[in-house]
Structure 1
């Protein structure tokens, strides 16, 4: 998140991106992955790939203008906010502590956690032409609340290796192609792909395709993302889609937020563990999940939390959760 105490560093990052964007030096921009599931990687993004991503995004949302920067600029989401604004002839407006009361901008990018936090006071957000939400799955209930509040929210899917979001509300941007591998992994091709990881020769796209760590389906031109392949937990011989379990738990009236992971277990192979900020016990959670999902998907352990551990980019710190379990 962008905090008031970090403003000087954010401004310096904007200046660095601007210098790169306006330079003739062919050196790529280095975008670091979040490291939510392991060691971060240094992703090399060419200027051509970034330009393609900027143009495709502007074409899809139907306008260009000034962007508000409310996400960390060191990750690809914040980097995209900066270059999109620069491409439109503006310097982005730095938003401190999610205070939008005096922000003069047309577009905004948030992570799902931020959107959830600001929906209690949405008035200041109605000024934005479009609000992109990416960096992780967003709950359908939260997006419904946003639309009911009069906000034009677009869910995006992508990663550093694709120059950020390249699928908007399930539909690929212009020039982007989607494939599904035999193992259900999502594959992406197009002009926005990275060149490779710094220091790792031959790590770029394979014959023009990047294979993600996510499982999904692509039907009638619409991509459905099921979650990370390693989120598909096998417990007692049953395959469980933990993102679906987490989404169901977040719909409970006494749950503020929840994440669900598989943890090694001597009896089950992996046991389904729910990390919950809210007031719900194990029996209630299992009954709630079992109402709409297979009972065998219900969590076998609840870890109560006062707050969800987050990385600097707003994503859930999965390693911290696994250590808690």
Structure 2
């Protein structure tokens, strides 16, 4: 008698296609086309065959410079099929930032598309292949396989994804996520949100972030359908939600607000709006209740393969500002001065459990990030007697704007490099549309627009300060450090 299988022995898509090959796996919302799991499996085989001839597999690294599109699914499962690590890169970053991240990865192959082909050839020091017909000899086409690929054995501790949490040039921080992390996250999410056979999860967020990638893993594990829209647009996304009977969608507060501003009201099919990437304001959640939008505020991060805690709509309504209890098998400890604190007391949120990354690409960063209670998130919050969490800020003042993380120190460094600038302090200010906006107080013989123009040439678009004020000096504490509260007051006044 064979031993029972307690863990996937091959990539998730291989198991799924053996179970429900004719079930709809993916919908291309822009083209209106649908793919079964059998068809998705064949496309993943094509990718796997190319990777097997282009990369030392298993254990090779494939970077991608691909925006949100259905091809992300075959890329992910094709890499898993041959044991390669997939590293999706942010297509909005500048060439210098991407080069730094590729150097950190030591990538064996870079996959691009037509829109990123020119950028890919500038930043890559490895072979480049394109999902589309290439326009230059420096890029090869992702060829169609002539034979199926035998899937390698899957190990739960194998690194499947590397995602970067920062877009800064000099300090890329790559998070390693294992197959075990991804499966544990999908399982825990199912326990909180539920799973129905007819579920359809809309992806309209960037797939170089975990929030955009997670539905591909989850839908394949569940045997449900992922609906892919290449770019969020309020009116088009409202149409897609209705036309394709979407039951769940991942959004950030900015995109949800834009949907509501466009007059959107959900259909009966919609079961949840997973709302992450930044704090959801009471005003936004009130509007959701008025419109019948099943908003589920969630707290998560790349280092935990997405969700840490999620509040169901009734919880969010009764306990204003909460992100709910931690997901199953996820432990959150509130720590101050190295010790756990009592309910109601504030401290840093420290997370442990099977969704937590084994670490960064940089071993020193990994050592600094973990302690006796688990992974130190850098977020400040508190919990109540029943374990519900509230997140109130950052230990290091990281700014979250429109679902994107911004390192305030990196932005300040970029501003200081602007001619005429003597010093700068960068903080996040509350913003109705973006959750937070990047704001800078600058000292020097310079004007605000010059500073912003300089930042546009050095930083990703979401890192460029929306508010810049020039002053004669930065407010400082008695010890000489910048008084960040006073900086915020000056910028808000």
TM beyond 0.5 = yes
Which protein has the larger Cα radius of gyration, Structure 1 or Structure 2?
A: 2
2:464 to 316, 320, 324: 320
Alignment of 1:213-252 (within 5 A): 213-220=378-385, 221-231=387-397, 246=430, 250=432
**What is the CA-CA distance between 1:214 and the residue it aligns to?**
1.1
**Cα deviations across residues 48-93 of structure 1 (Å, max 9, x unaligned)?**
1211111111111122433111111111111111111111213411
Partner of 1:103: 244
1:55 to 187, 191, 197: 187
Find the residue that maps to 1:51 and give its secondary structure: helix
Partner of 2:309: 167
**What is the CA-CA distance between 1:41 and the residue it aligns to?**
2.1
Alignment of 1:126-165 (within 5 A): 126-165=268-307
- Bigger mean CA deviation after superposition, 153-162 or 116-125: 116-125
Mark the CA change 1:197 to 1:90 in structure 2 (over 3 Å): closer, same or farther: same
Mark the CA change 1:259 to 1:208 in structure 2 (over 3 Å): closer, same or farther: closer
The answer as to 2:263 corresponding to 1:121 is yes
Mark the CA change 1:76 to 1:125 in structure 2 (over 3 Å): closer, same or farther: farther
Mark the CA change 1:113 to 1:125 in structure 2 (over 3 Å): closer, same or farther: farther
The answer as to 2:348 corresponding to 1:185 is yes
Find the residue that maps to 2:430 and give its secondary structure: helix
Alignment of 1:279-294 (within 5 A): none
Q: Could you tell me the TM-score, scaled by structure 2's length?
A: 0.47
CA distance in 1, matches of 2:175, 2:439: 28
Partner of 1:253: none
**Cα deviations across residues 107-134 of structure 1 (Å, max 9, x unaligned)?**
1111111111111332355531111011
Mark the CA change 1:3 to 1:124 in structure 2 (over 3 Å): closer, same or farther: same
Mark the CA change 1:106 to 1:43 in structure 2 (over 3 Å): closer, same or farther: same
CA distance in 2, matches of 1:175, 1:104: 31
Find the residue that maps to 2:464 and give its secondary structure: helix
Partner of 1:84: 218
Mark the CA change 1:191 to 1:91 in structure 2 (over 3 Å): closer, same or farther: same
CA distance in 1, matches of 2:263, 2:66: 23
CA distance in 2, matches of 1:44, 1:216: 25
Mark the CA change 1:231 to 1:199 in structure 2 (over 3 Å): closer, same or farther: closer
Unaligned 5+ runs, structure 1:
234-241, 251-255, 267-302, 305-310
Contact preservation (8 Å) 2:437, 2:466: no
- Bigger mean CA deviation after superposition, 173-182 or 193-202: 193-202
Find the residue that maps to 2:293 and give its secondary structure: coil
Contact preservation (8 Å) 1:33, 1:42: yes
- Bigger mean CA deviation after superposition, 6-15 or 168-177: 6-15
Partner of 2:357: 194
Partner of 2:366: 203
CA distance in 2, matches of 1:88, 1:58: 9
Find the residue that maps to 2:69 and give its secondary structure: helix
> With CA pairs under 8 Å and 6+ residues apart, which has the higher RCO, 1 or 2?
1
Partner of 1:66: 200
Mark the CA change 1:125 to 1:156 in structure 2 (over 3 Å): closer, same or farther: farther
Find the residue that maps to 1:138 and give its secondary structure: coil
Alignment of 1:4-83 (within 5 A): 10-20=69-79, 24-26=153-155, 27-35=158-166, 39-64=171-196, 65-83=199-217
Contact preservation (8 Å) 1:42, 1:197: yes
- Bigger mean CA deviation after superposition, 256-265 or 8-17: 256-265
State how many pairs are aligned: 263
CA distance in 1, matches of 2:168, 2:325: 26
Find the residue that maps to 2:287 and give its secondary structure: helix
Contact preservation (8 Å) 1:14, 1:73: no
**What is the CA-CA distance between 1:215 and the residue it aligns to?**
0.9
